[in-house]
Chain A
Amino acid sequence: MQANRDTCDCNRDANLTIVGMEIINLLAEGAAPKLLHRDVIRGLQNILGDSMVLHRPEDLLLYEYDASIEKGRPGAVVFPATTEDVSRVVRLAAQHDIPVIGRGAGTGLSGGALARTGGIMIVFARMNQILELDLENQRAVVHPGVVNYELTRAVEHAGLYFAPDPSSWKSCTIGGNVAENAGGPHTLAYGVTSNHVTALELVLPDGEICRVGSRHGDSVGYDLAGLFVGSEGTLALVTEITVKLLRKPESIKTLLAIFDRVDDASETVAEITARAITPAACEMLDGWTLRAVEDFIHAGFPLDSAAVLLIELEGLAEVVAVQVAAVEEVCREHHAREVRVARDEHERELLWKGRKNAFGALGRIAPSNYVLDGVIPRSKIPQALRRIQEIGERYNFKIGNIFHAGDGNLHPIVLFDPRDTGQYQRAIEASAEIIRYCVEIGGALTGEHGVGMEKSELMPLLFSDDDFDLMRRIHDAFNPNSALNPGKMFPLNKGCGEITPRAQAAVRAFPL
């Protein structure tokens, strides 16, 4: 691509490294970002200081990724420290008609924090302060860049914790959790992020700063905080979050049930629910996945089993004791080979480590993996797993399963090599078929990862034109010019769940 004289390109000096040359070449192959006008970069530098604005292609390359298989490179990345900074950046962007994309830690799985159409990316890494802890009233006020787990660490001395716990909790930010309405293993008992957010400070697309919700109790009138949680950065940028803190239960017991047949494990999940027991978490790993994990984490998962269930029960000690006995009974009735109860906190942490690091462990055995996110009625888990297996065989992919069985939130993982364009496209097609099946049997196309870039084209599977019309009116009430996070959630093409060749550009840019 020919750099325009007026655009702020990288320094093409003689000291470019080999890596630098490679990047330039990659850009030349058509994956170049939309470069921003020199005046815009200067304007950003005036607001935030030179060091808080990235604009050279080699600096921007890192920000074209998140944890999904999508890509989208911003024209500039900025690091504001205050709400006023954010507002000033947004105002500048609005003057120049440039889109703005918010980003936390970039651990998202649907491309929500990627610059699909270029623009200015606001990274909240410096807005990482816990602003207030009100332990007596079980509330915390935090910046969007606070890491999820850091909040729990800051309050656990008082017997409190922040409930949403995505697998990425040790790196993902609460701002990102709010944008995507993140879940986690304990969603089963405590709900998703929207159940834990009571108030927000926002920056609207014109730079205006406003507040919605109230710290305590339900807000009067429209539940605007509820509207913004999960809006995927398409309505406003969140600059401050008030969350609920939960009290740690008196007793927590974690069980590992080992099965020789996947169906037995699936049926155990349905039976636990049928006996009116709601575990705090109920996770399943299939045998293939747990072997890959065990090799890496050494959590003690038996290598020759077909599936394990990781079940957590919590509450008053007396109640938990009764429930542990009942769950053990259900597991054995469904032919569990063995049921282990973690003896102490160390054993419990090890079991969870195996679950939460599973995706990372799979990175050891395939160049890339595509973590899907679909929801099904939990009574249909056995048939869904059989169908996923069948789809994997048909497309010739190994598909692992590790998921929140208790609430029917599946996470099939397709292992593939993205350097092979054919494989990449087939992975996307196989994934779309799985998601389509989830919707067909009464489920939904995302449980907790969001729609983002990944599933915008699949939205018509679940929503009618009337639905989109309503969503569009809400979108336009706040963000009429699509100045915030454009190209997300809404389908770009009119068509019923057709997969577009959107992946092609990303494949070309993948360094071989």
Chain B
Amino acid sequence: MNTTATSIGARLESVIGPARVNASSESCAKFAVDGVVPSAVAKPVSSAEVVEVVRFAKSEKLALIPCGHRTKLAIGMPPSRYDVALDMTALNQIAYYDPADLTLSVDAGMNLAQLAKALAQQKQFLPLAVPFFDDRL
């Protein structure tokens, strides 16, 4: 691992704390997109922390790729730049659900299969025919 990569991770840690950042080559490799490997993985647990990561990336002119469970990360073109993987899977809660109002808000990292289970309890479903529905890490 080169020094630049370590420093991106270290600087990210100063923004959202060491517990939310992983810059090990092993971790970064898991977030590779078509062979392009990021220098650090940030895993915020709140939208406020997402804001911090995005601001950090903007100020340092770094390229971010937000991702969920990375089931189909390889679909598309290889990225021309990729510095930080923004792992959204810690934002995985149902934010608001009023079954009688047929209305739901979820965090971006919510797993679809989990969501389907919660909805099924109310005899409801999300009408998205997503392929590889059950895939998760």
Question: What residues make up the interface of A, taking CB atoms closer than 8 Å to B?
Answer: 270, 273-274, 276, 278, 377-379, 408
Contacts and interface: CB of A to CB of B under 8 A. Distances in A.
Given A273-B102, A378-B101, A408-B101, 17 more contacts: A270-B100, A273-B100, A273-B101, A274-B99, A274-B100, A276-B122, A276-B123, A276-B124, A278-B102, A377-B98, A377-B101, A377-B103, A378-B100, A378-B102, A379-B98, A379-B100, A379-B101
Interface string B120-135: 0011100000000000
Nearest to B125: A276
Interface in B74-118: 98-103
Nearest to A379: B100
Interface of B: 98-103, 122-124
A278 B98 CA distance: 15
Most buried by A among B102, B103, B124: B102
Interface class of chain B by DSSP: mixed
Nearest to B100: A379
Q: Name the prevailing secondary structure of the A interface residues.
A: helix
B135 to A, nearest CB: 21
Nearest to A408: B101
A461 B52 CA distance: 27
Contacts of B123: 276
Contacts of B99: 274
A270 to B, nearest CB: 5
Contacts, number: 20
Contacts of B122: 276
15 contacts: A270-B100, A273-B100, A273-B102, A274-B99, A276-B122, A276-B123, A278-B102, A377-B98, A377-B101, A378-B100, A378-B101, A378-B102, A379-B98, A379-B100, A379-B101
Nearest to B122: A276
A278 B102 CA distance: 10
A278 B123 CA distance: 12
Contacts of A408: 101
Contacts of A378: 100-102
The 6 residue pairs across chains A and B that have the minimum distance between CB atoms:
A276-B123, A379-B100, A377-B101, A379-B101, A274-B100, A378-B101
Nearest to B102: A273
Contacts of B100: 270, 273-274, 378-379
Contacts of A276: 122-124
Nearest to B123: A276
A273 B99 CA distance: 8
Nearest to A406: B102
A241 to B, nearest CB: 25
Nearest to A274: B100
Nearest to B99: A274
A278 B103 CA distance: 13
Contacts of B103: 377
Contacts of A274: 99-100
Contacts of A377: 98, 101, 103
Contacts of B101: 273, 377-379, 408
A408 B124 CA distance: 18
A244 to B, nearest CB: 16
A388 B102 CA distance: 24
